[in-house]
Amino acid sequence: MYAMMPPLPSAAMSLLDPFGFGRAACDYWGDALERGTLYLDVMRQRGNQYLEHIEKTKPNVLGFEAEVLLDGRDLPRPVNYELLRILPPEGVETDPNSRPFVVIDPRAGHGPGIGGFKSDSEVGVALRAGHPCYFIGFLPYPVPGQKVEDVVEAEIAFLRHVIACHPEASEKPMVVGNCQAGWQIMMAAALEPDIFGPILIAGAPLSYWAGERGRAPMRYTGGLVGGSWITALLGDLGAGLFDGAWLVQNFESLNPANTWWDKQYRLYANIDSEAGRYLEFERWWGGHVALGADEIQYIVDNLFIGNRLSTAQLVTSDGRRIDLRNLRSPVVVFCSRGDDITPPPQALGWVQDLYEDTEAIVANEQTIVYCVHDSTGHLGIFVSGSVSRREHTEFTANMDYIDVLPPGLYETTVTPAETHSDAELIERDYLLEFQRREVEDLDREVQHRPDDERRFATVARLSEINLGLYRLCWQPWVQALATPESARWMRRMHPNRLGYRLLSDRNPLMGAVPVLADRVRRGRQPVDDDNVFRALEGVMSTSISQSLEAWRIYRNGLIEQGFLTFYGQPVLQALVGLGGDTQALRRRPGDEPEHRRFVEQRRRTARDRIAEGGEHEAVMRSVIYVLGGAPASDERNFKRLRASRAELEPGIQLADFKHLVREQFFILKQDREAALEAIPTLLAGQSAKQIDAHLEHIDHVLAASGELSERASARLERVRGLFNAAKPKRAAGSRSRRSGPSTERDG
């Protein structure tokens, strides 16, 4: 080994190598050899870690201790899911009467645990905030015959159990669904809306045809292979199981520069410091799981290609329609422009699919909040420590506020507290602010194109044709030839799995690697960063990465252009039944006459209730009116709004308080002038002292956000006038009796 060779005298080196290039080259190649040996040893450790992980009965990568409360295999409709209670680490206390948090991990090729991967994670944030925390994970293999609908019913059962564990908690559980778990939990909430508190879906695709041209090439995958018949083929070859490694391979192909070079070179270049982080992540990334063939076929046919979730076309086996407009819990959508797996159009497009305008959202009493990160990738949305410390911390801290937000569409931004002039009113390092938005404002993110929609509708029709032909002509033969043993060998020989096995201790050729690596570590001599050859290595690495990135851009362009050209042919569209019929593309629930009649009925009901109620309705109507004129709303208002809940009516349940806020908001939305003029009527019977107390309370609420804008101040003055007008007038007789003695003295 180079590190064990005696160095030449410096004088001799100066004569032989006056410019130092030879010495720099020797140092570099010695360091490169050492790094190569250590890199190979990390690959060996990765392989051993992979084998140890997949051989566990219940593998996960949770960074917290947990206990199993319910096993999904014991349910009436058994599934391979389980409900775990997270045990708080030492020094962390949780309040059993606080709102429970339930985190659900994605089952999209990888094993469970990424939502609680480390201390700065969704689970860690909830625990530090004092909330009891639960986790819904899964086992590596599905129960035979398990279906997506069974999983949804299991998650409903788990949530009911969590509620039963906290009978004294006044709020329903907050549910966090990551990626694939996001659309799954939205299906569950549409079926059983009454058991859900606020829902946070992070990086979850719900509108699968949506996307920006030039980005998100994964949405073209179904069209490239002619539909879902390839999914059925892989499920049949797997003897009823679909290997999740195929999904992981699709993810990796999106970024060849990172998959084939950057990730591995980062480890090689920083082998002395990067090994621990690399192995920690690979324990999850390489933990492939299997899905049932029926499960993945349902997902591909109805979601990825059919796009039936966001258009209310899914129906359960017992006839219940899965309509996301049934949700009554606030929905927080967290996505990122740097996410190439679930870009913002796919995370937010469902809102435009379901609602024509914001008034329809309000009529359905839905609160939808979205936050678009500028740069983090798909995994960073629910794994990155910086994201957890900022966005997830703010979401968790403000869930009670989000839970009582009036219906509507909001965009959130997270800003440092020190940037605000009244930073002393902010409890944490960041402030979560809410901006009202209209459905039309989503055009910037969703970028809907009717011509692209026609192409994806063509893919869906062609997929049905090809799947039918496969099932008729080839499926019986494939199923007859496939056996459980052949399926097991096919999984073992998948490139993504085989790479781990070959570089492990089970390969006899790796036997010398740990010995050499141990010797290198004892005599390690890393080269200086200013070594010219180390610098050239970095330049070469950058060149390779840029070349692969250029190839990605070129490949994606070819894929997109090929897709648009092929599926844009009028003849093909006519052959699959889409010739000129724009209504045949897909169902748009928001455009249907029944929904328009529902919205109009809600408007009439709100107008009829303008003068109904009392002082509580008057105060809440006034607060909403004044805050509605402000450019943004944030947690500082909620601190006072929460106090108003206790002051208005001690002991009022959160559900009743939410109803009060939402009803008054909707009334103001329908006829603001009539709603304001009715305030004196609502205050009838109140004494002047009581009305003054109400005004003082309104001032108290509004002061939480600092100084009011000019427009909000003008609205507050109007409210004062309305409240003063409601004060009872003194009787004429009492006025004369009080003024009588004064008159006599004057005389």
The secondary structure element, H or E, covering residue 152 is helix 148-165
Distance, CA of 453 to CA of 457 (rounded, Å): 6
pLDDT at 614: 84
pLDDT at 21: 72
Is domain 66-209+307-448 in CATH 3.40.50.2300, yes or no?
A: no
For 107-157, give the secondary structure using H, E and C: CCCECCCHHHCCCCCHHHHHHHCCCCEEEEEECCCCCCCCCHHHHHHHHHH
Check: CB of residue 389 under 8 Å from CB of residue 430. no
The DSSP secondary structure of 175-219, one letter per residue, reads EEEETHHHHHHHHHHHH-GGG---EEEES----TT---TTS-GGG
pLDDT at 530: 86
In which residue are the tokens 């206990």 written?
Answer: 67
Distance, CA of 289 to CA of 107 (rounded, Å): 8
In which residue are the tokens 């390779």 written?
Answer: 544
Distance, CA of 104 to CA of 72 (rounded, Å): 14
Q: Is the C-alpha dihedral spanning 724, 725, 731, 737 positive or negative?
A: positive
Domain range list for the chain: 66-209+307-448, 609-725
The pair of structure tokens assigned to 249 is 């391979």
pLDDT at 706: 65
pLDDT in tens, 241-288: 999 999 999 989 999 999 999 999 999 999 999 999 999 888 888 888
Distance, CA of 2 to CA of 22 (rounded, Å): 15
pLDDT at 646: 58
Nearest to 361 by CA among 349, 352, 348: 352
Q: Tell me the three state secondary structure of residue 287.
A: coil
pLDDT at 578: 86
The vertex-278 CA angle with 273 and 280, nearest 5°, equals 115
What are the residues whose beta carbons fall under 8 Å from the beta carbon of 70, sequence distance 6 or more?
A: 82, 83, 157, 158, 161
Stretches in the chain below the pLDDT threshold 50: 1-4, 629-632, 731-747
Q: Tell me the three state secondary structure of residue 570.
A: helix
What are the residues whose beta carbons fall under 8 Å from the beta carbon of 558, sequence distance 6 or more?
A: none
Pairing of strands 133-138, 101-104: parallel
Distance, CA of 433 to CA of 274 (rounded, Å): 37
What are the residues whose beta carbons fall under 8 Å from the beta carbon of 330, sequence distance 6 or more?
A: 198, 199, 366, 367, 368, 369, 402, 403, 405
In which residue are the tokens 């209670």 written?
Answer: 85
pLDDT at 743: 38
413 Rama class: left (phi>0) / alpha (psi -120 to 50) / beta:
beta
pLDDT at 449: 85
pLDDT at 19: 58
